[in-house]
Structures are given as C-alpha cells and as structure tokens.
Amino acid sequence: MVRELVVATKNKKKLKEIKEILSDLNFKITSLEDYSKPPRIIENGLTFKDNAIKKAIKIARFTKKLTLGEDSGLCVDALGGKPGVYSSRFSGDRGRPRAELPEEVPSLTGRGRNARGSVRAQLGSTKDKSDQKNNLKVLKLLGEKPLSQRKANYICAAALADEKGLLGVVEGKCSGLIGFKEQGSHGFGYDPLFIIPKYKKTFAQLGEKIKHKLSHRYHALKKVKKIIQKRLFRNILRNTV
C-alpha cells in the first residue's frame, strides 16, 4: 500500500524542498496541484503556526488524507520581526489588513560602502520578480546598518492533520544575517540575502545540499517525521491487536 502525504501548497519551489527533505519517508508526496478545485486558503493568521494549522486542517478535510500545512518566512530583528507572516508578499499590500500595512519604504540613499551600486546590481541573482521586490524592500529598510545589526531568523511552522483533525504542529528556526546585496543563484525567496555565519555565504551560494541540513524547513520537517512515525507505529499496533 502506497502511503500519501498531501502538502497544502501550490508553490513548486517549496514543494521541491519538502520532497527532498522528506525523501526518506517512503511516502508519495502530492500537492494541491494534484487535486481538482481545492478550497481557497486565506493566510490571515497572526503567526506562522496559525497559517500552517489552517492549511493542514482545511486540506485534510478536503482530501481526507494525511496533510502537511507549512508556513514560513523571514524575521529581521532590526525591522521589529518583519517581514514575518507577510514574507511572501512583503513588497505589496494585496490581501493584507489595513492596520497591518507596512510603513512607507524609504528610498535607497547614501554614499557609504554599503549603499554603493544600483538597485540592479543589488538584485542581480533572483529570477522571480516578487522575490526581487521583497528582497529590495528588505535592503531599503535596513539601509546602511552594519552587519552586526542585520541579524535575522528564518522561521518555519509545520502542521500535520488528517480528516479527524490536527495531529501536531512544530516549528523550526535558522539564524543568520542579512547581506548588503543578493549573492548566489540557488533557492528562492530571501535565500540570496540570508548569510549563514559559519560559512560566510548565503543559502543561495551554499546550494540545496547544505541548505537542507541547516534550514528552518529542515528543522521543522525533522520534527514532522517523528509525528508521522509515531502515527504509523500506533496504526501498526492497532492492526495487530
């Protein structure tokens, strides 16, 4: 019998990462792209966990299968935790409650070392236009702050549910620094800006092989694996009694 895990996403890049990290589970991993007319999910939670739980429960009820809901993003200390739950749409106001709209972004000015170069030079490696805009906004807001004041965390919340309800929710974190320009061509999102101090390189420079052993998503999904394994063990015990 082939076991299936539905990932409540249409994001192909995110799905690819999840499949690679969970490759040793021996599950058939599918997504919303594999289902006709899945319900719309409005990500209006105040936390990553809120959104992850909402995705998992709603899609599990729809598919009647084991479902993984995941929400993740970047939290920059100097920006008061922003972009946070708005990470994927940080550069736009679409779908966001008015009271939580970001402050107006200051223009990129200054003649110092860190502000040198055009916007095009700073955003040279990201192919996705929305990723480019989001990265540019973070760079603008941080301005010429020194590296010591550019601390950030990547956060990932992952929830597991079946048709009966929530099975568990976990969180993973990866700490790093925000660079002064994009570097590297791997990954997506804020990866070209997110520097891992140990390697002095961004996730986009390090590539998937290293990223998938360090990332926020790796740490969260490692915990998800334990929930799945416990569930499988309980089912085996139930069937042998």
* Residues annotated as catalytic (active site), given as ranges: 71
The rounded distance, in Å, linking the Cα atoms of 55 and 15 is 14
103, containing H or E segment: none
* 154 closest CA partner among 211, 200, 100, 104: 211
The rounded distance, in Å, linking the Cα atoms of 145 and 231 is 47
The rounded distance, in Å, linking the Cα atoms of 92 and 147 is 26
The rounded distance, in Å, linking the Cα atoms of 193 and 183 is 7
Paired with 173 in beta bridges are 155
151: left (phi over 0), alpha (psi -120 to 50) or beta: beta
